[in-house]
Structure 1
């Protein structure tokens, strides 16, 4: 496993970490026994950073991580998120009272006295222009409820505004072979400020596993079926906002580019790690086999210049016209 600094926290975290959305819900049926086995496998393989949120299974994902802390002795970091419990999910709801209540609930779910890293959970754009919200987070750090805080964003614009606040240690953003815009300007700015980048949806909702086809079906509670047009939350969270059929075409164009000894998923994760501005990717894993495949990417050989160029060409042809300007 490789490790990189998480912002200015002094922590070094695994370059392939663990995204715990899938073990909470909205990714089809999941079994807690399998989920715990996946979490244990991640620790066994050197993962020391787990990303969750209070709304993943209404706290289910957080509670599983609390179990992991009880069952294992080695230290690891847990990042969670707050804000999506608001209904309606509007900027006016990001008050001191609401944020404090969300934090207290996560502290209870995680069974800890302080949250390692709290992230605002893809709030409305207006929130990034409300200094008082970040002042509340500063106060929660001072009160010992949070060790550090960051943001999870949908758009590059939001990330660029967020990193103007000195307390922001990390930006979580969709960055993968189908969503490359963050590398244009944002990464240069986060490196200058010592802000971590957490690359979420690194496998584009499973598209970049190379295991899907036009015949793939999804459970009723799987966002890959019900959110393709943004019916439940931002469209960009499902298949990176890319039309599913176009995504499948792009995957086929990439298939010949997978180096010998790698799976397509490993190539996609290794591609993210090629950018030194990225602290880690956070692929999900619902069972130990998925975790093992993902984590192995951390120690794979560098991708060649020719492969990187060919992958860039696929992005230019298939994904860029549809997603680049939107997020």
Structure 2
């Protein structure tokens, strides 16, 4: 495994991390035993950057990680998030079922304490605002996060799916170590002002969904492969018609990967790693097999020509469908 620093002054972590959401949320049935094996195997391979959030399984994902993290705390760089709340469960109390974004200082403090309790740790290495409510001033949220750092409950702070202007404003209150954004061959929106702002400020870009929510693995060709409770069935890129067009793009990536001598997922991850030392992909999986494949991508060094060919396999604007539903898209970019 190769190592990259988080932010300007943070610790070095594995260049490829592990997104843990799918172990408990969104991608069909859970298999806690296999997920636990995957977590331990990740640490054995040097994949120490584990990414979770309080909303993943409404706390279940943090509780899943807890025994592994406690047993191997010195080996883990632990990231979790807050800001997405639901009504009718432990995060939102009682009321009409639904979801909303809460980036208030009060919720930052309450959510942090709850995550620390579920995870069974004293300190979170990287604590993100998962989504931002634009009605809450960013200096209020970041001020609360800074207080959590002072209290020793959080080491580094991060933001997810925010605007460059918000990043600048937040960074003026307290240094931001990382911004988590969707970034892959299929989603390259960050390559303009967002990435430039991160680099100006010395902020790492943590790339989630780096293999296009599975599309860039080349293994998804039909909606019938997705479980009935797989949330991707609601995502426009996986809709009938859209999926067919996007599979063709994935097949083009597969062809280039074959010439390189790696899998499509490895090519997609290696392409991201080649974008700069400040890019930290966190592919998600709940299976040891896919974890090992993803981790091996850190050893691949693409030539400039191979990087260009992968980019050209997915021309700008060629991906069909938004990355979230209309409601989901309204929660990003604030």
Q: Measure how far apart 1:199 and its partner are.
A: 0.4
- CA distance in 1 between counterparts of 2:170 and 2:320 reads 27
- 1:218-229 → structure 2 map (5 Å cutoff): 218-225=226-233, 227-229=234-236
* 1:293 matches 2:296: no
* 1:205 matches 2:222: no
Aligned to 1:188: 196
Secondary structure of 1:85 counterpart:
strand
- CA distance in 2 between counterparts of 1:13 and 1:218 reads 32
* 1:3 matches 2:3: yes
- CA distance in 2 between counterparts of 1:2 and 1:254 reads 24
- CA distance in 1 between counterparts of 2:2 and 2:112 reads 31
- 1:275-294 → structure 2 map (5 Å cutoff): 275-294=275-294
Aligned to 2:62: 62
Aligned to 1:120: 129
2:65/2:119 contact within 8 Å kept: yes
Does 68-77 or 199-208 show the bigger shift?
A: 68-77
- CA distance in 1 between counterparts of 2:286 and 2:320 reads 32
- CA distance in 2 between counterparts of 1:56 and 1:171 reads 19
1:179/1:319 contact within 8 Å kept: no
Aligned to 1:136: 144
* 1:43 matches 2:52: no
Q: Measure how far apart 1:220 and its partner are.
A: 2.5
- 1:55-94 → structure 2 map (5 Å cutoff): 55-72=55-72, 74-87=74-87, 93-94=102-103
- CA distance in 1 between counterparts of 2:18 and 2:175 reads 24
Structure 1: state its 5+ residue gaps: 230-237
Change (3 A) 1:303 1:27: same
1:156/1:182 contact within 8 Å kept: no
* 1:313 matches 2:312: yes
Change (3 A) 1:107 1:287: same
Q: Measure how far apart 1:64 and its partner are.
A: 2.0
1:114/1:146 contact within 8 Å kept: yes
Aligned to 2:117: 108
Secondary structure of 1:198 counterpart:
strand
- CA distance in 1 between counterparts of 2:105 and 2:166 reads 21
Change (3 A) 1:213 1:8: same
- 1:1-40 → structure 2 map (5 Å cutoff): 1-40=1-40
- CA distance in 2 between counterparts of 1:321 and 1:35 reads 32
RMSD (CA atoms) = 2.5
- CA distance in 2 between counterparts of 1:132 and 1:71 reads 35
- CA distance in 2 between counterparts of 1:118 and 1:142 reads 13
Aligned counterpart in structure 2 of residue 171 of structure 1, from 157, 171, 179: 179
2:5/2:13 contact within 8 Å kept: yes
Change (3 A) 1:90 1:215: closer
Change (3 A) 1:156 1:214: farther
Q: Measure how far apart 1:97 and its partner are.
A: 2.3
- CA distance in 2 between counterparts of 1:314 and 1:158 reads 33
- CA distance in 2 between counterparts of 1:103 and 1:252 reads 42
- CA distance in 2 between counterparts of 1:160 and 1:209 reads 35
- CA distance in 2 between counterparts of 1:9 and 1:86 reads 35
2:21/2:52 contact within 8 Å kept: yes
Pairs aligned (count):
312
Q: Measure how far apart 1:24 and its partner are.
A: 1.7
- CA distance in 1 between counterparts of 2:307 and 2:16 reads 19
* 1:248 matches 2:247: yes
Q: Measure how far apart 1:161 and its partner are.
A: 5.3
Aligned to 2:94: none
Does 312-321 or 168-177 show the bigger shift?
A: 312-321
- CA distance in 2 between counterparts of 1:77 and 1:140 reads 17
